[in-house]
Amino acid sequence: MADSSFDIVSKVDKQEAANALTQAQKEIEQRYDFKGVGASVEWSGEKVLMKAASEDRVLAVLDVFQSKLVKRGISLKSLDAGKPFASGKEYRIEASLKQGIEQDAAKKISKIIREEGPKSVKAQIQGDELRVTSKSRDDLQEVMSLLKGKDLEVDLQFTNYR
């Protein structure tokens, strides 16, 4: 019998992120507390750029954007937001959406699978994702539930289950 496998990936649905950004823009335009402070949120290449007249207002813009991401099913672990910084007369925050699993995180996940998972399970790092294989599908599901229970710094999805 052939080995069963699945991939562990960390991807953000670009369309859902764009929808969340559009919803945040609409809310910022309509809310009274954002009137006259130059608050905005927009794409700047691959990054999201948030602007406002004061530091607390730009943090409020970030909060609105984060709430829209959560409502759209995107984990905040995928959002890498910087600290507010002054740029002329306004404050800005640059944020990016993380795609893929970094090498350090992949090694950490692989180590967790080796030490705490079933012995028949093997994990291989393949670029920015992990391939987990085993003869037993039950062992693979056990690995999935093990990783879901861990508090890792990356948002994980399980794909290609066969």
CATH code reported for the domain at 14-97: 3.30.70.990
CA nearest to 101, candidates 15, 14, 16, 8: 8
State both tokens at 82.
């910087």
Beta-bridge partners for 125? 130
CATH topology of domain 4-11+101-159: Alpha-Beta Plaits (3.30.70)
pTM of the shown model: 0.84
pLDDT of residue 160: 84
Provide the residue ranges of all domains of the chain, joining segments of one domain with +: 4-11+101-159, 14-97
DSSP code per residue over the chain: -PPEEEEEE----HHHHHHHHHHHHHHHHH-GGGTTTT-EEEEETTEEEEEESSHHHHHHHHHHHHHHHHHTT--GGGEEE---EEETTEEEEEEEE--S--HHHHHHHHHHHHHHS-TT-EEEEETTEEEEEES-HHHHHHHHHHHHHS--SS--EEE---
CA nearest to 69, candidates 78, 82, 60, 58: 78
The Cα–Cα gap between 88 and 16 comes to 32
State both tokens at 89.
């007369």
pLDDT digits (tens), the chain, 162 positions: 568 888 989 899 999 999 999 999 999 999 998 888 889 999 998 899 999 999 999 999 999 999 999 999 999 999 999 999 998 899 999 999 998 888 898 999 999 999 998 888 998 999 888 999 989 888 889 888 888 888 888 888 888 888
